Amino acid sequence: MDDQITITLLKERLNADADDIEAALSLGNFYYDKGDAAQAIVHYRIALDINPLLSGVRTDLGAMYWRNENLSQAEQAFRDTIAKDPSFGHAYINLGFLIQNAKGDLVGARAIWQNLLDTNPQHEMAGKARELLQQTGAAIN
């Protein structure tokens, strides 16, 4: 199906039912994949208004804020995800990258990755956190 038709159909669904979380998420993900951060943000926020417990969506929202160069909102989205769902490892990884790359704070980034390991050493993202800690360890010594 043509992208514009898909967008039109999803928007029609969302206009008909403001609580159609599947349509909001589909639009957010579509725009995320297309690199349209502004539109992804709009639709992820709609989805989070419907269900604020969606950790993956809140983390994707943070990524889109970052892409849109809104660092404070990106950081807040990642921190909110961790506060609401400390078991969601992707938020720790993304927050660490933001702190390291956008804010230039390697020590702060490492503390976030270490926090994931301290909180949930068996998490599926724990290996990535260990890898990042190992890769960046020499840079601070």
CATH number at 74-141: 1.25.40
Q: Are 43 and 25 in contact (CB under 8 A)?
A: yes
pTM beyond 0.85 = yes
Token code pair at residue 73: 């909102």
Q: Kindly state the average pLDDT of the residues 32-48.
A: 97
Q: Kindly state the average pLDDT of the residues 77-103.
A: 96
- The pLDDT value recorded for residue 81 is 97
Q: Where are the domains of the chain?
A: 74-141
State whether the Cα torsion 24-26-28-34 is positive or negative: negative
Each residue of 42-55: pLDDT tens digit? 999 999 999 999 99
- The pLDDT value recorded for residue 79 is 98
- The pLDDT value recorded for residue 126 is 95
Q: Kindly state the average pLDDT of the residues 103-118.
A: 96
SS3 of residue 91 by DSSP: helix
Q: Comparing C-alpha atoms, which of 136, 116, 138, 119 is closest to residue 127?
A: 116
SS3 of residue 70 by DSSP: coil
